[in-house]
């Protein structure tokens, strides 16, 4: 197998999926954000975004905190250190492939 194919095959499959990659890339640029911000920026529907976030949380890449702002429920999202490291490695691997 040539070096490009090897680099591509070694990419993290959890964040390689386009929707999850978009979420991780957005979270990498901020300290934290709320669900509505991601909903607006990704243009996904609520169910799809929730599903991707659950998968990222399960992998240990994203922290999801349910809280309230006054009486209004709010979901805060943060990229965990493992998620940041994985995203950095993903970008390096992608650059190595091309």
Give this prediction's pTM: 0.90
For residue 78, pLDDT beyond 90: yes
Contacts of 65 (CB under 8 A, 6+ apart): 75, 76, 77, 78
* Predicted pLDDT of residue 1: 60
* Predicted pLDDT of residue 65: 97
For residue 9, pLDDT beyond 80: no
* Predicted pLDDT of residue 95: 86
- Give me the mean pLDDT over the 55-76 stretch: 96
Tens of pLDDT, residues 13-63:
899 999 999 999 999 999 999 999 999 999 999 999 999 999 999 999 999
Residue-range domain boundaries for the chain: 3-97
Q: Which two tokens stand for residue 13?
A: 């499959």
Which runs of consecutive H residues, i.e. helices, occur in 11-80?
13-16, 18-28, 35-42, 46-58
- Give me the mean pLDDT over the 77-82 stretch: 98
Could you tell me which CATH number the domain at 3-97 has? 1.10.10.10
């Amino acid at each position: 197998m040539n070096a490009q194919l090897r680099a591509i095959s070694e990419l993290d499959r959890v964040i390689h999926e386009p929707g999850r990659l978009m979420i991780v890339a957005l979270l990498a640029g901020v300290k934290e954000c709320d669900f509505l911000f991601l909903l607006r920026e990704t243009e996904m529907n609520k169910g799809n975004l929730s599903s991707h976030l659950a998968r990222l949380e399960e992998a240990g890449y994203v922290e999801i905190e349910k809280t309230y702002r006054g009486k209004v429920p709010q979901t805060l999202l943060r990229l965990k250190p493992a998620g940041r490291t994985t995203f950095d490695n993903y970008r390096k691997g992608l650059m190595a492939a091309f």
